[in-house]
Structure 1
């Protein structure tokens, strides 16, 4: 019977060790899955960043064109106001 107790103890330790190994393997697989998910998310963030950078460049270019158009309109309005003022002055005398 003493042999059976030693054998039972050894089997119990072996089963416990196998359980820890299985737990470690499961944990490692879970971490590997999380790493793959994070790598995928990082790649998507890079893609989004590139898309946003292109959109920002386009918006800045458009803003520059609007600024130029605004300045042109302003110059034309000043010119038109001066012309109207000149006409009014000539007609008032």
Structure 2
């Protein structure tokens, strides 16, 4: 009877070990899946960052161009006002 209990105990320990191994494997799969999701999110964030950086560069270029145009318009208005004053003063 002692041999029967020993075999039963060994089988119970084996079942417990297999259960622990299954839990460890499930945990590992979950971590791998989470890791893959995180990597995907990082790629999406980097893509968004690149797109936003490009849009910012384009906006800065447009702002600089508008500033140049504004200076040119201002210069022309001053010239026009001076011309009008000169004509009125005659």
- The TM-score, its normalising length taken from structure 2, stands at 0.86
Per-residue deviation at 1:46? 2.0
CA RMSD of aligned residues (A): 1.5
Is 1:23 the counterpart of 2:23 in the alignment?
A: yes
Per-residue deviation at 1:2? 1.8
Aligned length: 90
Separation of aligned partners in 2, 1:88 and 1:12:
111
- The TM-score, its normalising length taken from structure 1, stands at 0.84
Per-residue deviation at 1:89? 3.3
Cross-structure match for 2:54: 54
In the alignment, structure 1 segments of 5+ residues that lack a partner are none
In the alignment, structure 2 segments of 5+ residues that lack a partner are none
Per-residue deviation at 1:25? 0.3
